[in-house]
Amino acid sequence: MLRRVIVALVLVSPAALIGFEPPARPVRSSPAITQDTNAVPRAIRRDVPMTNAIRRAFEAGTRDRSGRPGPKYWQLQVDYAIDVRLDPATQTLTGSERVTLHNNSPDALTEIVLRLDHNIFRGLVPRGFSTPAENTDGMVVTRIGVNGEAVDLGARPAGGRGRGGAPRTLAVSGLDQTVARISLASPIAPASTATLEIDWRTKLPGGPGGRGHRMTQRWDDTLFQPTQWFPRVAKYDDLRGWDTQVYLGPAEFYNNFGRFDVRIDVPAGWLVSGTGVLRNPDEVLTATARERLARVLESDEVITIVGEHEAGPGRSTAPGDRLVWHYAAGMVNDFAWAAARSYMWRATRATIPGTGPIPIHMFHLPERAKLFANAAPITRHALEFYSKLLVPYPFPQLTLQDGPSAGMEYPMVLNSNQGAADHEAAHQWWPMMVGTNETVYGWMDEGFNQYMNILSQADARGVEPSLDGLGGRYGQTSGSEDEPPMMWAANHAGPMYGFQTYSKTPLMLSMLGGIVGDEAVQRALREYAGAWAFKHPSPWDFVFFMNNALGQDLNWFWYYWLWTTEAVNGSIAGVKADGGRAVVTVRQDGEMPAPVVLRVQLAPDGPEIEPMKNAKMIDATTAIVTWPVDVWFDGTRTFEAALDFGGRRVTGVTLDPHRRFPDRHADDNVWPRP
């Protein structure tokens, strides 16, 4: 009935229905209104947008306008004690965990948000462009207790969540999704601790067809690479409260720091590697393996701990039917492990400034030894180089684990062979040490990492890193409708997720180096890593920290790179040469401004060269002349750069000679034109 009434209404003109007619439109005689960018001054934004979340944090003193943690900074600590059993026959983990949640926030927590990432392997949850190798039942939670009280897993949470006088009840929702919520009968008071007990099981997905890291976690029933395998407490922070971003596959994590105590029960003869330090080598290793391990820190040699032909209980491990491997880690934000029936175990060392030698472990299948042939020197170089570039590697070991996922990082664990070892090792600084929210701000993690990889790989080859050209290259991408700004949540970045999260940051830092110098950029990053180690910075903290570390208000720069997809698009519009003087007309057609940097070629003969104040001679007749970005702040699109080198004739000019500023066409940056 209702439907027929609606159909009748749409047949009548809306204006007739409400008794209103629009005024007659005047006949247009003037030209159509179109956009003429040249006719309007360029509106250069010189601050960064502030959100309610960061404003509140500044007011509360949890963060500081200097970019450092505020005097009232806090974060939760979440400790895990986990017992897990691997059954190769069913490819299933069965686990039981006791989670201690230290509520260091000033808030009474009325709920606990859980991350159940393995529910992405169920067929009916939302997913990004990752595809699991196999659909499973997901993470099947069989018991939850909060402070000793059992949660009825079948009951629906009461409506109103305790508002309007309704009593709060202990209940859970979303157990079949990647984010679940436990509503609490009594809140967790500030400065108090709550205990969660959870039992669960999850089948590790295997088989062909998995796409995306973490989407295939085993080879048949002989090698397992469990990640995101246990129910985790979501992040609760001063910016957004509980983090309720669903896990879609491509974007990564935002986890609490805490201590882990994990007991992994596997068949005897299987080797187990993982986050943390093995606490019971006497119970699970052979005497031979323990003796070999004792020599690892003595040299850079690669030592075989368990060889190809040492397989089975009593040879690769202690004898028995099943063995329980006990790993423990202090202050990490996740725990990953791997187990295989026929792993080889080799080890070497890296020497960390201030710490000394630490072990690098490599667990791989014998037939894949080639993929690990260079893993030791690459990983050692990465740990030692990044320790000097940023701050010393803070963990007691690093382990490479062979398996279907070959390019993924967890604390002290690289699911990688030599191919991605340098990149994955750098992740030990972000997000394992500086705990960025990768789900939303992937660039603060993958992007910084890509920049560091350029430096590391050049250092390993003994050459100067090449950062020239990178910033300029962004001019070719700018303008794509598919590109989300870097501040757009990476979890929803779409087809250009990879560019937004990985590739754009080195381009941005190339331009920053073009303004303040690459050494200054790296020094500031080092100070930032130190200030935020084992904490959780936001983009505003990063931006304001860098401004202070670099001693410059660069908010215009951050605004255009992080909040927009605009470019500079500079050119030389003309040169008026008059004897020994020249005036270069520089244009910027894009919305992003940039300093004016000219390489000026002077004639070999003539009056003696007197360098300009803003010039640096790079050889007898070539100078780099710069004007600060401020020359654009009045909105003009052209700048007249007057050149005078004591009357020496100017024979050539190149704008942005190091190609650091995003530019669509390089061929209009030179005079005379080729």
What are the residues whose beta carbons fall under 8 Å from the beta carbon of 229, sequence distance 6 or more? 84, 93, 95, 118, 202, 204, 217, 336
User: Of 111 and 446, which CB lies nearer to Zn ion in the complex structure?
Assistant: 446
Gap between the Cα atoms of 370 and 368, Å rounded: 5
Q: Work out how close the CB of 214 gets to Zn ion at its nearest, in angstroms, rounded to a whole number.
A: 12
- Is 582 in contact with 621 (CB distance < 8 Å)? no
Residues that bind Zn ion (CB under 5 A): 446
Smaller CB distance to Zn ion: residue 420 or 653?
A: 420
Q: How far apart are CA 480 and CA 469, in angstroms?
A: 20
Q: Which residue is nearest to Zn ion (CB)?
A: 446
Name 39's Cβ contacts closer than 8 Å, sequence gap at least 6.
none
Nearer to Zn ion, 317 or 428 (CB): 428
CB of 455 to Zn ion, least distance (A): 15
With respect to Zn ion, which residue has the nearer C-beta, 117 or 446?
446
Question: Is the separation of the CB atoms in 332 and 258 below 8 Å?
Answer: yes
CA distances from 542 to 85, 205, 371, 492 (A): 41, 38, 37, 22
Q: Provide, rounded to whole angstroms, the least separation between the CB of residue 334 and Zn ion.
A: 14
Q: Considering the complex, what minimum distance in angstroms separates the CB of residue 308 from Zn ion?
A: 31
Give the nearer residue to Zn ion in terms of CB position, either 57 or 251: 251
Which CB, 216 or 415, lies closer to Zn ion? 415
Please, what is the minimum distance in Å from the beta carbon of residue 502 to Zn ion?
7
- The answer to whether the peptide bond before residue 672 is cis (omega within 30 degrees of 0) is yes
| C-beta closer to Zn ion: residue 86 or 420 | 420
How near is the Cβ of 429 to Zn ion at its closest, in Å? 11
* CB nearer Zn ion, residue 446 or residue 527: 446
* Smallest distance, Zn ion to C-beta of residue 153, A: 36
| Pair of tokens at residue 319 | 């004898």
3-state secondary structure of 645: coil
Residue 671 structure tokens? 């005079």
CA angle 560, 563, 566 (to 5 degrees): 45
Residue 22's Cβ-count burial label (10 Å; 0-12, 13-18, 19+) is: exposed
Closest to Zn ion by CB, 253 vs 337, is: 253
| Sign of the alpha-carbon torsion through 293, 295, 299, 303 | negative
- What residues contact residue 53 under an 8 Å CB cut-off, 6+ apart? 239, 240, 538
Residue holding tokens 């306008």?
65
Residue 313 CA to residue 322 CA, distance in Å, equals 9
Q: How far is the CB of 233 from Zn ion (least distance, A)?
A: 24
- β-partners of residue 46 are none
Give least dist CB 488 to Zn ion, A.
Answer: 19
